[in-house]
Structure 1
Amino acid sequence: MYAKFLTSMILGSTLLMPALGHMNMMSPPPMRHRDNPHTETADEIYEFPLKTDGSDYPCKGHIDALGTPEGKPVATWAAGSAQTFTLEGSGTHYGGSCQVSLSYDKGETFKVIKSWPGSCPNRESGSDQTFNFDIPEEAPSGEEVIFAWTWNNREREFFQNCAVVTITGGGAGISNLPNVLVSNIGNGCLSPQTTAELKYPNPGDVVELGDGEYPLVLPTGDC
């Protein structure tokens, strides 16, 4: 009886570990997130990084929700407006580097609108994980625009959560903005590991530098 109880406890702890070990975007609620009002069946693995073979890129495989009731917009943002996103979870991995980006072609390309090289998420578990950014005035109007948060942590893991938003009052386009940095998913690009945080080769014009606790190092390979 004791052995069976111990086995159950170990299995239960193992199942809980991923949920405690990472972070994910909570607001705006991503596709198939439990807080998304359009979600029919919630995906409970938002805390996991993307697979190392890239098979769930983009958007953890939730891109197929576009064009269905589960892919309806969760927010309406005006071009040029100030916005925020919020992360949840207790496993900050003591930082890393983040970007937010927009896609107008169902995840084929993501154009960076702000980068946080270093100390993103905020290092301390339980700290405020709300971040500010602006929608570019040049961002075109669109009803099914993908807003993506990406995170490269120091364990060489890559995270991406995607929410569908509507952009109003848009401009001529953001094709001039850099593409999001994608690493560690079998694409030939590797972020620094353990002793440094990612320095984006092309972070764009809107950058919020971290606290400098770790050196910023460029990725290696085909990035």
Structure 2
Amino acid sequence: MTGPILHRDNPEAEPLVGNIKVTRDDWLNVAMDALVSDGVEHVKVMNLAERMGVSRSSFYWYFKSRQDLLDALLDRWQATNTAAMVAQAEAPAETITQAVLNVYRCVVNPELFDTALDFAVRDWARRSGKVRRMLDQSDTRRLAAFTAMFARYGCTETEAEARARALYYMQIGYDLAQLGEPMETRLALVPHYLLVFTGVPGQPHEIEDFAAYARAHSQGDRA
């Protein structure tokens, strides 16, 4: 058996060695890894215990059942991806183009929005009515935040909804395509995307600030 693959939320934490004891976050983190890499059917107590090199008995200190763990994974997804996207849409901005660039921060900063996790939940929703309902509610929340964002900058109700849908569904599809597009290629297109989504050109300083943020927070060529 290989060594435990635990990874704490706090990277400063001491590594677990010897007679290890795992935390609730350890179980959640490894379950998240399994969900993203292998799908929900592989999120099983025995599988996770083997990956960590521990007895499965400690699982029941933190969770009542496998379903309790799955519910915790969904709660974490809602508290990260959906909450971050809504917060970015609601962030203060002087212009609509700046507001859209605030939303784009979710695309380039994996600490704000975990694209792989969103894909995993969408795949899970194909096999679970409960998860499908939660995903629908999440999409509705995100779209409502985008619509309100456009409305704040003078769009009519219908226009705001149309622009919100174009922005949101384009981004979901763009990420799903997994183009492997270099960061600089995508950044070069940002001014044109802003014009398409908002109808007005972005200010040069807004675009430059976003490009600096993207380069500082992205991982590799993820854009």
Return the TM-score normalized by structure 1: 0.26
Higher relative contact order (CA 8 A, sep 6+): 1
Q: Which has the higher strand share?
A: 1
Return the TM-score normalized by structure 2: 0.26
Q: Which has the higher helix share?
A: 2
